[in-house]
Amino acid sequence: MKKNDEFELTIEDLSVEGEGIGHFDGMTFFVKDAIPGDVILARCTKLKKRYGFARVQKVITPSPHRTEPICHVAGKCGGCRIMHMDYEEQLRVKQRMVREKLIRLGGFSEEETDRILKPIVGMEKPYHFRNKAQYPVARSKDGQVMMGFYAPHSHRVVESETCYLGDGVNEKIRSVIKAHPEISVYDEETHRGLLRHVLIRRGYHTGEVMVCLVVNATDESASVTTLTETLLPELIKVEGMRSIVVNFNPSEGNVILGQKTKTLWGEDMIRDRIGKITFMISAPSFYQVNSVMTEKLYAKALEYAALTGRETVWDLYCGIGTISLFLAQKAKHVYGVEVVPEAVEDAKKNARLNGIENAAFLLGKAEEVLPAFYAAGGSTAIPDATLPAENTAESLHPDVIVVDPPRKGCDEACLQTMVAMSPARIVYVSCDPATLARDLKYLCANGYELKEATPYDQFCHSMHVESCVLLERVSNRKADS
Ligand code: SAH
């Protein structure tokens, strides 16, 4: 086998990146735009010792799950990796992915996994569900302003008229910005120019819109004012507009938002609701992008937490307090921990806004705050002194701990303290089945038992999958201590 060789390949599986996987001549091949069940004529593009990459030259026999993507840039834009697969099959692929990670990385038996793993919950209409979009801005060769998404593994901006994942308001805002070719656009290569990203949020239930213009500047200079004065008069006319902010990001890296944000027009935040709770969301805070599925996911987390009103609960990686406040309605006390200062401030505001008094929020890394709190023997370590003193013992040994970490999962120092606190139940909300499986393995080796896991399709047409898992304490450590 050498580069450019053509050969027939049957696609058997999908990689985590959404590439088709097939075997030929003792080698494993990864093929973009191919799906399980396809028989293709492949052309080898790159060879390593045991594996290689190939392109689809021709689909000889299409998989029965092949479908024409609704979006004409699917495959070109890095957003939807598996839109050429019918939605039912997408769900099956994700279900298999979670199952396989639990078995291979979690060390759970096939039998146990099949007993605890519930069918994935998918969307009825898997389009236009995202409440947030982050568009990179670039200048095309012919001088136009481009706003789209990056091509896979590159920073080349791919545009399309409509993104089928996003809200309709995105197109209106894009057209306002694209109508001004005279604005200063950021150029990654030279690190010159101003406008680098446009972040748009729209409250799913409220329709409130926020636009955040991310600029390559440290502060509000004359050129930033020129840019904002050009765009503002038309942006404020967009239906639902509540907040226009500028974020200063002078860094050369890939991080989208800088540290500093300033409100240009309207409010600092927008509102949205999850269930009965209203949330204020500021530009840098994390907020679940799929509101429809989030409500279902949080309802499951609440069900797994099995609250009666007497429980003390920790919510680690709490963001703006979404899960915390959801739980607080049914618990005695909730402690949230979050590393982003703005998110902690939002969480406190959100508690007040909803008249919730039994939730406190701690700023810092879960793997530092939790061990420090535990070592210090409780609430003295809580700067927010609104909690009653008699709560100390309960906060050290809560009934339930909920975690919802980013993709890298929980740090071992965090898992260690969770085990030491020995809650009766742990609810693990995860956006990466691999790190989930790793952390479940640790918890199950340290006194917990896997009870149930339900995957959720929060990110349709991508390879991402969210899961909600219930663990219960096996040994009755509370009685021992
Ligand atoms: N539970 C929230 C947020 C989940 S996203 C919700 O459902 O909306 C994960 C959150 O963890 C983000 O808000 C992120 O800022 C935060 N985070 C990341 N690393 C962290 C760490 N080491 N300790 C605490 N929070 C962290």
Complete domains list, the chain, with CATH: 6-61 (2.40.50.140), 132-274 (2.40.50.1070), 283-480 (3.40.50.150)
User: How would you class 444 by CB atoms within 10 Å of its CB: exposed for 0-12, middle for 13-18, buried for 19 or more?
Assistant: middle
How far is 14 from 26, CA to CA, in rounded Å?
18
Does any ligand 1 atom lie closer than 6 A to the CB of residue 288? yes
How far is 16 from 312, CA to CA, in rounded Å?
37
8 Å CB contact between 358 and 334: yes
Q: Which residue in 431, 444, 460, 468 is the catalytic one?
A: 431
8 Å CB contact between 35 and 63: yes
Does any ligand 1 atom lie closer than 6 A to the CB of residue 340? yes
Does any ligand 1 atom lie closer than 6 A to the CB of residue 318? yes
Distance of CA 134 to CAs 150, 304, 365, Å?
A: 10, 33, 26
Q: Measured in angstroms, how far is the CA atom of residue 343 from the centroid of ligand 1?
A: 9
472, β-bridge pairs: 425, 449
Phi, psi of 26, deg, nearest 5:
75, 5
Q: Measured in angstroms, how far is the CA atom of residue 180 from the centroid of ligand 1?
A: 37
How far is 379 from 389, CA to CA, in rounded Å?
7
Q: Measured in angstroms, how far is the CA atom of residue 127 from the centroid of ligand 1?
A: 26
Phi, psi of 51, deg, nearest 5:
-140, 170
How far is 121 from 298, CA to CA, in rounded Å?
13
pLDDT at 480: 44
Output the CA angle 357-360-366, nearest 5 degrees. 160
What's the maximum distance between 2 C-alpha atoms anywhere in the chain?
73
248, β-bridge pairs: 215, 260
Nearest Cα residue to atom 3 of ligand 1: 319
- 431 has catalytic annotation: yes
8 Å CB contact between 405 and 440: no
Does any ligand 1 atom lie closer than 6 A to the CB of residue 285? no
What is the SS3 assignment for 96?
helix
pTM of model > 0.85: yes
Residue of 339, 367, 456 to mutate, ligand 1, most atoms within 8 A of C-beta: 339
Assigned token pair, 211: 């636009």
pLDDT at 390: 54
Does any ligand 1 atom lie closer than 6 A to the CB of residue 319? yes
8 Å CB contact between 304 and 475: no
pLDDT at 152: 86
Output the CA angle 355-357-362, nearest 5 degrees. 120
Which one, of 41, 38, 94, lies nearest residue 67 by Cα?
38
Q: Measured in angstroms, how far is the CA atom of residue 253 from the centroid of ligand 1?
A: 22
8 Å CB contact between 56 and 48: no
DSSP strand pairing (400-403 vs 425-430): parallel
Does any ligand 1 atom lie closer than 6 A to the CB of residue 108? no
Does any ligand 1 atom lie closer than 6 A to the CB of residue 406? yes
Q: Which ligand 1 atom sits nearest the alpha carbon of residue 287?
A: 8
Q: Which ligand 1 atom sits nearest the alpha carbon of residue 288?
A: 8
How far is 394 from 407, CA to CA, in rounded Å?
30
Q: Which ligand 1 atom sits nearest the alpha carbon of residue 402?
A: 1
Which one, of 305, 269, 260, 288, lies nearest residue 402 by Cα?
305
pLDDT at 3: 94
Helix (H) or strand (E) holding 7: strand 6-10
Phi, psi of 155, deg, nearest 5:
-115, 25
Q: Which ligand 1 atom sits nearest the alpha carbon of residue 431?
A: 5
8 Å CB contact between 400 and 427: yes
8 Å CB contact between 316 and 400: no
Helix (H) or strand (E) holding 112: helix 110-116
Helix, strand counts (H, E) of the chain: 12, 23
Nearest Cα residue to atom 13 of ligand 1: 319
Does any ligand 1 atom lie closer than 6 A to the CB of residue 337? yes
Does any ligand 1 atom lie closer than 6 A to the CB of residue 19? no
Helix ranges (DSSP H) in 403-432: 412-421
Per-residue pLDDT of the chain (481 residues), as tens digits, is: 899 999 999 999 999 889 999 999 999 999 999 999 999 999 999 999 999 999 999 999 999 999 999 999 998 888 899 999 999 999 999 999 999 999 999 999 999 999 999 999 999 999 999 999 999 999 999 999 999 999 988 999 999 889 999 999 999 999 999 999 999 999 999 999 999 999 999 999 999 999 999 999 999 999 999 999 999 999 999 999 999 999 999 999 899 999 999 999 999 999 999 989 999 999 988 899 999 999 999 999 999 999 999 999 999 999 999 999 999 999 999 999 999 988 999 999 999 999 999 999 999 999 999 998 898 877 555 555 455 555 677 888 999 999 999 999 999 999 999 999 999 999 999 999 999 999 999 999 999 999 999 999 999 999 999 999 999 999 755 444 4
Assigned token pair, 362: 């701690």
Encoded amino acid at 387, one letter: L
